[in-house]
Amino acid sequence: MIFRSFFSLLITALLAACSVLDLPALAAPTPAVTEGPTAAAAVTPTIVWFPPSPTPAALFIATYTSTPEMRPGVGGTTLSDSFSEAESWDTRSSNQGSASVERNRLTLAVQPGIYLFSLRRGLALDDFYAEITARPSLCRGGDDYGVLIRASTAAYYRFSLTCNGMVQADRISAGTRESLQAAVPSGDAPRGSPGEVRIGVWAVGAEMRLFLNGRYQFSIDNPNMRTGTIGVFARSAGDTPLTVSFSDLVIQDVSYIPPTRTPMP
Give a yes or no: residue 10 inside a domain.
no
Give a yes or no: residue 59 inside a domain.
no
More confident residue, 40 or 213: 213
pLDDT bin (cut points 50, 70, 90) of residue 155 is very high
- 194: containing domain: 74-254
Give a yes or no: residue 45 inside a domain.
no
Give a yes or no: residue 133 inside a domain.
yes
Residue 4 and residue 13: Cα distance in Å, rounded? 15
Give a yes or no: residue 30 inside a domain.
no
Q: CA of 149: how far to CAs of 24, 33, 106, 238, 243, in Å?
A: 117, 96, 17, 25, 21
pLDDT of residue 2: 46
Residue 229 and residue 121: Cα distance in Å, rounded? 7
Give a yes or no: residue 183 inside a domain.
yes
Query: For residue range 55-105, what is the model confidence (pLDDT) as tens digits?
Result: 544 444 444 344 568 999 999 999 999 999 999 999 999 999 999 999 999
Query: For residue range 238-252, what is the model confidence (pLDDT) as tens digits?
Result: 999 999 999 999 999
- pLDDT over 90 (residue 173): yes
CATH of the domain at 227: 2.60.120.560
If you average pLDDT over every residue of the chain, what do you get? 82
Helix/strand/coil for 12: helix
